[in-house]
Chain A
Amino acid sequence: MKEFMMLFRHIPNPEYQPSQEDIEQEIKKWQDWIGSIAAQGKFKSTNQLGYTGKVVKPGDVITDGPYAEVKEIIGGYIMVDAENEADAVEMAKGCPILDVGGHVEVRAIMELDL
């Protein structure tokens, strides 16, 4: 098994005002997808990221982030164990971010001998 990180990227739509029911449905979809990975014993951890933040640059320059300069943001990530890259990609195919026009970036974790 190799470790992979999947980054959920999308362009937020500030006009989208989901109802309570929409939110519940959305949570269910995500939980089903993560549960499916966990049921294969391949889940490690996951986090959703907040919509605001700061960007720190050299020379003590701090800007509001993350969307001051980029439209697309990282909404969250999941860490998984996969047999290989193809297996990780297969898992990513069910990610609910794809349903809202976003995409998943699948990256292998580099093993460092320190």
Chain B
Amino acid sequence: MKQIIPNLFRTEYSKMVAVLCKVFGISDIQLAEDIVSETFLTAAETWGKKGLPENQVAWLYSVAKNKAKDHFKREQLRINKINPVLKKSQDKQTELELDFGEESIKDGQLKMIFAICHPLLKTDTQIALALRILCGFGIDEIVSALFSNKSTINKKLYRGKEKLREEAVSFDLPEADEIGERLETVLKTVYLLFNEGYYASNPSETIRKDLCLEAMRLNLLLLENKTCNKPQTNALLSLMCFHSSRFEARLNPDGHFILYDEQDENLWDQELIKKGEYYLNIASSGDKLSKYHLEAAIAYWHTQKQNPDRWESILQLYNLLLQLQYSPAASLNRTFAISKARSNEEALKEALKLKLENNHLYHILLAELYKISSPKKNAFHLQKALELCKSEYEKKIILEKLGK
């Protein structure tokens, strides 16, 4: 019982809010959320007294339906009292139609993805709203997932919903001619959601995994829709499959990251690698090369540990990726690929062109490149990295490298 309700909340909250918004519109999302929250409160009370119903999900849907209907009745009564003239037209209004069928739920969730990933909202607001409304995370879980605090998250959620109302964002899929641009924002949010789980040094392994799985679930939802099933949508899922294939291998028993080179390949999930290849193949059908294509291809080559061309291919992909979008991480990874594909000397020449003196990873890379040729410079850059590094765990690793 203790775990049943939170689990149902996680899977059903977003579905119910989505279906309710199909009737209420996104402007009344708060109302939809209130009705669903009340439904879960009622469930906790009733099930606690009378025991679990046979079909808990159906029970939740029907209670939510009734609560929504009651709300509408109350609203009508209120309106009638204020203005009896309106009564007649109100009476004619059809019954509230709420369809909790599978198709209707999917349709609602898809519309919700587009509403929440609306370009009018800031990215961090989109992420917070996505966690709450698309992934059914509780406030405490969002706080922990985003390393934030309750009041910040609550403010973000509140302002995000206000914005959706003020701007009268519609609860519909974008028209065919604007889907491209809107889909880009959606994919970016899904990508960031995944990265939040994959790279953030969040202490909770469960939350990390949940974030990644949720991002993949949303991506699958997009693929099921014809208009959203584009090469870049497949590429993003491919990328996430390759990354998550290393989930078990990249953490040691203390929950700290194990470097790629030192990972036990036997722990890589072959099923997910195959899926990644499958989606990458589909993604290759288009003529547009997105950054997701390139990142997925890089991730693919990382699964090919035995292939001698691996590092040269990775290097060329980073060359292309950086032309699409610069990032310090890609720039450092490119330099590392040069050291693997060519030589430390060539990599060093490139590394010295980068102006990343305030980035501790830059100094770790330089230290690595100087390791054989200059122990003095190696120590100097490790010391620099130590000064700049903020994570206690990484500091420990740097100290080990320094032989301390």
Which A residues lie at the B interface, using CB under 8 A?
28, 31-32, 34-36, 38-41, 43, 46
Contact = CB atoms under 8 A, between A and B. Distances in A.
A36 B350 contact: yes
25 contacts: A28-B316, A31-B320, A32-B315, A34-B319, A34-B323, A35-B315, A35-B318, A35-B319, A35-B334, A36-B350, A36-B353, A38-B319, A38-B326, A39-B318, A39-B330, A39-B335, A39-B353, A40-B331, A40-B353, A40-B354, A41-B326, A41-B331, A43-B323, A43-B326, A46-B323
Interface residues of B, number: 16
Nearest to B331: A39
B50 interface: no
B334 A39 contact: yes
B335 A40 contact: no
Interface in B154-186: none
Contacts of A35: 315, 318-320, 322-323, 334
Contacts, number: 41
B355 interface: yes
Q: Which of A31, A34, A38 has the most CB of B within 10 A?
A: A38
Interface in B35-83: none
B366 to A, nearest CB: 14
Chain A binding surface SS class: helix
Contacts of B350: 36, 39
Contacts of A46: 323
Sorted nearest first, the 6 A-B pairs with minimum C-beta distance are A35-B319, A38-B322, A39-B331, A41-B326, A31-B319, A38-B323
Contacts of A38: 319, 322-323, 326
Interface in B281-337: 315-316, 318-320, 322-323, 326, 330-331, 334-335
Contacts of B315: 32, 35
Interface in B347-375: 350, 353-355
A50 to B, nearest CB: 19
A95 B322 CA distance: 18
Contacts of B330: 39
Q: Which of A32, A35, A38, A43 has the most CB of B within 10 A?
A: A35
A5 B335 CA distance: 25
A34 B323 CA distance: 8
Nearest to B337: A35
